[in-house]
Amino acid sequence: MTSKSMEETKDKRIAIILGLCTLVLLVATAPQIGLTWDEPAYIAASESYVEWFGELVTNPKQALDQETIDSYWEINHEHPPVDKIWSGAVWRLSRLIFNDLAAHRMGNMLLVAALVAMLYLIVATEYGRTAGFVAAAALLTLPRFFFHAHLAALDMPAAVMIFAVLFVFWRTKDRTGLWSTIGLGVVWGLAVATKVNAVFVMPILFLWLLIFKREIRLFVRLVLSSIIAFPIFLLSWPWLYPAVYERIDEYIRFITIDHWEIGQFYLHEFHMPPPWHFPFVILFAVVPLTLMLFCLVGVVRTAVKKKNRGLGTLFFFNALAPMIVLSIGESMVYDNERLFMPTFVYIAALAGTGLDWALSGIRNGLKRMKKESLMRRATAILILLVFIPHLVLAFPLYPHLLSYYSEAIGSLPGARRMGLETTYWCETFAESLAFINDNAEAGDSVWTDPWSHDIMVYYQLQGRLRDDVWIATPPYATSILRSDARLIAREYYEADFVVFQYRQTAIGEDPASSPILAWVASREPDVRISYLGVPLLDVYQ
């Protein structure tokens, strides 16, 4: 075995160890992460989808009947199914060991563990192990990324699969043969069948080829991979089978012109859509300052150093793509940073390369001064300076990391002064359960954000909320989780308990124009969750 192959084998082993450590970390920290707004729909869909595969095995003719397909696949059919199939399959196995929510999240936590392994491997192979370790550490210490890494939602799997396409392309670009092309096509097909965001990665690869390679062989590979990806996308989604053309048309219409609007509170105003600068301001606000600075150092390294320029440019292009898509104002869906999860991966990669370059500069300076013995100490000091500030801010805030804001804008109090959203997605609701269970009488009702009732329904299903408590909802609301859910049409001022999250997108910030804010302002909460003096959640009896 050559020295190079030995080093490659060592890097693969390190990548596997990092992936396993990531999985252990996520599993250990998952119980504190509250259920979020999107998860009930994906949980219900994943359970339904894997039941259909059981039907396919036992009764294939019946399973492929349109009525059967519609009954199993109608749930959350507005999004492609691959991650929900994967999560459902993992749930079936892991629920034998873990509780239901942890089991539903296990599939995505496995994907994040694989992402960390891939990130280390691609960065370490091209830039060295220091850069690889820093990139992996940077990714896992991005507070908002770390929060999303636990969830049974689609944003993180989309980020993983987009990176997987880049990873497979980069690792096989110098190989010949059909299998590399087939592999790339399969991975891209599965990525697009995870979430539509993945469509942009292939055009970026074409652009990169135009700038750096211009090899006909690689252009042909991308074209053939794109052709292979389409049937993979179709085959992975049984909901399409009964009427492929009509349902693809419905899906395209949904993601372009028919999607329901989800606006955003930003700079003290509600926007639909926000102005073009929204994603860039939010990215700066939620990425720790030191990691953002070294990401920029990594961008500079890419610009001035010929070695590894191709990979660095690929990182930069992919980091920019989600931001540009949002900034042109065509999207109708916003929730702060969740839609640019893929960008975080490349910020971490560039931060790893940037910090490694800075350490090389320090090493050269110490060598010129003949003080090489100080290198280990300088490395430790620099790494501490990079990671300690945001860990100090995030640790007391955990698990409510959707309220993390960088020291660059003054943390959460600074974000509120800027007019940014305090929290979203209802993950704080878990903090209300103990008080309600201890103080409610049989038949009492609990009001939460309109249309967030399935979070409380799920907690009730899992025994975390008492069965004799009713959940106040808008009129005619139903539950995606259970047909016999204890729902009752009731406004907040009629309910026995009010669980109130400080999400300005839904409530604004002026009590004079927001009835519920005026109601809250006139009362003292029985329970308040806050950080640095900024309230995240109130519970009123």
Q: In this structure, what are the phi and psi dihedrals at residue 445, rounded to the nearest 5 degrees?
A: -120, 150
Whether the bond into 475 is cis, omega within 30 of 0: no
The pair of three-digit structure tokens given for residue 355, joined into one six-digit string: 């910090």
Please count the other Cβ atoms lying within 10 Å of the Cβ belonging to residue 226: 17
Give first-to-last CA distance, the chain, whole Å. 70
Q: CB within 8 A of 98, min separation 6: which ones?
A: 27, 106
- Contact predicate 118/164, CB 8 Å: yes
- CA–CA dist 483, 217 (Å, integer): 55
Task: Give the chain's length.
Answer: 541
pLDDT digits (tens, 9 = 90+) for 300-353: 999 998 888 899 999 999 999 999 998 886 667 788 999 889 999 999 999 999
Region of residue 329 (phi > 0: left; psi between -120 and 50: alpha; otherwise: beta): left
The closest of 450, 183, 195 to 339, measured between CA atoms, is 195
- CA–CA dist 205, 214 (Å, integer): 11
Please count the other Cβ atoms lying within 10 Å of the Cβ belonging to residue 103: 20
What value does the mean pLDDT of the chain take? Answer: 94
The closest of 422, 383, 471 to 286, measured between CA atoms, is 422
Q: 287: buried, middle or exposed (CB in 10 Å: 19+, 13-18, 0-12)?
A: buried
Measured in whole angstroms, how far is the alpha carbon of residue 249 from the centre of its chain? 27
The closest of 449, 450, 453, 446 to 479, measured between CA atoms, is 453
Number of H helices and E strands in the chain, helices first, is: 23, 8
What separation in angstroms does the CA of 335 have from each of 23, 255, 443, 503? 26, 16, 34, 11
Q: pLDDT in tens for each of the 541 residues of the chain? A: 677 788 889 999 999 999 999 999 999 999 999 999 999 999 999 999 999 999 999 999 999 999 999 999 999 999 999 999 999 999 999 999 999 999 999 999 999 999 999 999 999 999 999 999 999 999 999 999 999 999 999 999 999 999 999 999 999 998 988 999 999 999 999 999 999 999 999 999 999 999 998 889 999 999 999 999 999 999 999 999 999 999 999 998 888 777 777 889 999 999 988 999 999 999 999 999 999 999 999 999 999 988 888 999 999 999 999 999 988 866 677 889 998 899 999 999 999 999 999 999 999 998 888 888 889 999 999 999 999 999 999 999 999 999 999 999 999 999 999 999 999 999 999 999 999 999 999 999 999 999 999 999 999 999 999 999 999 999 999 999 998 999 999 999 999 999 999 999 999 999 989 999 999 999 999 999 999 999 999 999 9
The closest of 455, 454, 480 to 76, measured between CA atoms, is 480
The pair of three-digit structure tokens given for residue 45, joined into one six-digit string: 């869909």
The structure's pTM equals: 0.96
- CA–CA dist 18, 517 (Å, integer): 46
- CA–CA dist 137, 402 (Å, integer): 19
